[in-house]
């Protein structure tokens, strides 16, 4: 798990990053990243111009890595918690065809602009790495 905060004191879980780099070299497979974000007032989520601009750039970064947006879901409340209640604004699921594809986003031409806007609109974020070989889908009725 990585916790990312808007004061750019982002904490990257380097042991998990090393695992991702090793998977990319040896037995690469799809990865699903679950992002849990709390937005700042400046984001004016979900209708603010800055939020919408960030989402456009964020989608370009995901496309750069041949990824897909599985879902973006606004959070309406938190029924259960253990310890402090951590409010969230949105949960996003991004699928990437491989760990290497995800890692390649560091070279995306939109990276600097993405992080500049992100710094203004995201109070904090938690990102979970999940197995992407069987991404969630809605069952057919």
* pLDDT category of residue 9 using cuts at 50, 70 and 90: low
Higher pLDDT, 127 or 7: 127
pLDDT digits over 88-141, tens only? Answer: 999 999 999 999 999 999 999 999 999 999 999 999 899 999 999 998 877 777
Q: b vs e for 108-120, b when ≥16 Cβ sit within 10 Å of the residue's Cβ?
A: bebeeebbebbee
What are the boundaries of each domain within the chain? 2-131
What pLDDT does 6 receive? Answer: 44
d(C-alpha 31, C-alpha 129), whole Å: 7
d(C-alpha 30, C-alpha 98), whole Å: 4
Query: What is residue 54's three-state secondary structure?
Result: helix
pTM, two decimals, is 0.86
Who's near 39: CB < 8 A, 6+ residues apart?
Answer: 45, 51, 89, 90, 121, 122, 123
Return the percent helix, strand and coil in the chain, to nearest 5: 35, 25, 35
Of the candidates 31, 39, 32, the one whose C-alpha atom is nearest the C-alpha of residue 90 is 39
3, pLDDT greater than 60: no
* pLDDT category of residue 47 using cuts at 50, 70 and 90: very high
Exposed (0-12), middle (13-18) or buried (19+): which is 28, by Cβ within 10 Å?
Answer: middle
* CATH T-level topology, domain 2-131: Alpha-Beta Plaits (3.30.70)
**Which residue's structure tokens are 């939109």?**
110
């Amino acid at each position: 798990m990585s916790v990312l905060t808007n004061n750019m004191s982002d904490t990257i879980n380097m042991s998990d990053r090393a695992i991702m780099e090793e998977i990319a070299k040896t037995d690469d497979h799809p990865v699903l990243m679950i992002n849990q974000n709390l937005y700042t007032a400046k984001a004016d989520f979900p209708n603010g111009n800055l939020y919408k601009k960030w989402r456009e750039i964020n989608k370009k970064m995901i496309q750069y890595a041949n990824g897909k947006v599985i879902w973006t879901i606004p959070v309406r409340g938190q029924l259960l918690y253990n310890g402090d209640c951590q409010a969230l604004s949105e949960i996003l699921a991004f699928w990437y065809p491989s760990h290497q594809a995800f890692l390649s986003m560091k070279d995306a031409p939109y990276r600097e602009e993405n992080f500049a806007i992100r710094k203004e609109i995201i109070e904090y974020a938690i990102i979970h790495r999940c197995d992407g070989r069987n991404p969630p889908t809605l069952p057919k009725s």
